[in-house]
Amino acid sequence: MWMEIICGIVIYQLVRRFFYDDEFSDVETSDSTALFSVAHRLEKLYGGKAYVGLRIPDADTASRQDIDVVLVTKGEIVVIAVKNLSGIVTVTSDGSWVCEGGKHHTTETFPDPLAEVKKQASVLESYLEQRGVTLLEGNLSCKVVIPNPSFRTIHAFPSEVITYEDWQQLKPVSKSKLSGWVKGAFSTGKEMQESSHQKLNFILGTAPTWDRVELKSSKIVLGEFLEFKGKQEDTLALRNIKRSKVDRVSIQKTSMFGLAPSRLQILYSYRDYRSEGSSGAESKEVTVRSSTEVLFQPRDSTKMKKFKLSSLVSISLSA
């Protein structure tokens, strides 16, 4: 009889793990994941460094301007808006995009993406000037990238809009020879001085960003970390994980099947303000119950989410 009970518990855990334990099924992770996918591909194609999920202070509005991706190469800075749209897109007289269909068979209207990314570039340029970097003429450009294969339209977009078909045609190029099409797509500026290039990377590497959680399913959610939830013993063990002190948290499971509660090994590294967004040498380790949760506010969502630590790979915190 005990053998049957144990087998039943094991089968229940397996079924729950593979069919019911996806607490992220109602979270829109595809857009955030698309940002990192686009950034990674651009780095491979053109070199340089891509910064994702920036929140640049806007002095005019006393708020923060969200920027999807900023690609920095020796030749220029490209501010990129990623529109992971699925469905048929039409353009209205005021430049807005109307997307019909898609995964949820709905109709959504988006303000003119090209006008928005130009505004983001203007805010970024002002921010860089405030921090001591003045860009040369032609060093700053804007693009809208549509990486979704389910995107459809009958409209002809300006060259700053990279449709899915154009996105697929991008090829790796050498630093010494750029094709005419690539020059028109992503390279227009003069090469920056090494000192300016290094300072620019430092500024963007230390600029405000969204927090992010990485799921075991290789998906990423951008948003704002709020707090840990769980047993008092566990929340007390995690009390030192604050954005002012810590920049990254890694989660590892320490036990597999069994009747005893599963435990998680939590590794967190202290922030090093002297270097470009990298962790300091000092790190700490604690162990908590797998039932411990993270309270997180996803980007572009009005609802807060509770994520189980056991479903995460890491948490990155912005300063």
Contact 56, 65 (CB under 8 A): yes
| Residue whose structure tokens are 């040369």 | 136
- Strand partners for 293: 229, 308
Please give the chain's pLDDT, 319 residues, in tens: 555 545 554 444 444 444 334 444 434 457 889 999 999 999 999 889 999 999 999 988 889 999 999 999 887 899 999 999 999 999 999 999 999 986 667 889 999 999 999 999 999 999 999 999 988 878 899 999 999 999 999 989 999 999 999 999 988 765 543 344 344 555 545 566 777 888 999 999 999 999 999 998 889 999 999 999 999 999 999 999 998 889 999 998 765 554 545 889 999 998 876 655 444 557 899 999 999 999 999 998 889 999 999 999 999 999 7
pLDDT of 29 = 55
- How much is the pTM? 0.81
CA distances from 38 to 31, 34, 69, 83 (A): 11, 6, 8, 11
Contact 88, 151 (CB under 8 A): no
Q: What digits encode the pLDDT tens for the residues 174-229? A: 554 334 434 455 554 556 677 788 899 999 999 999 999 999 888 999 999 999 99
Angle (CA) 238-241-243 rounded to 5° is: 155
- How far apart CA 122 and CA 77 sit, in angstroms, is 12
- How far apart CA 237 and CA 219 sit, in angstroms, is 27
Percentage of the chain with pLDDT > 90? 59
pLDDT of 217 = 84
pLDDT of 256 = 53
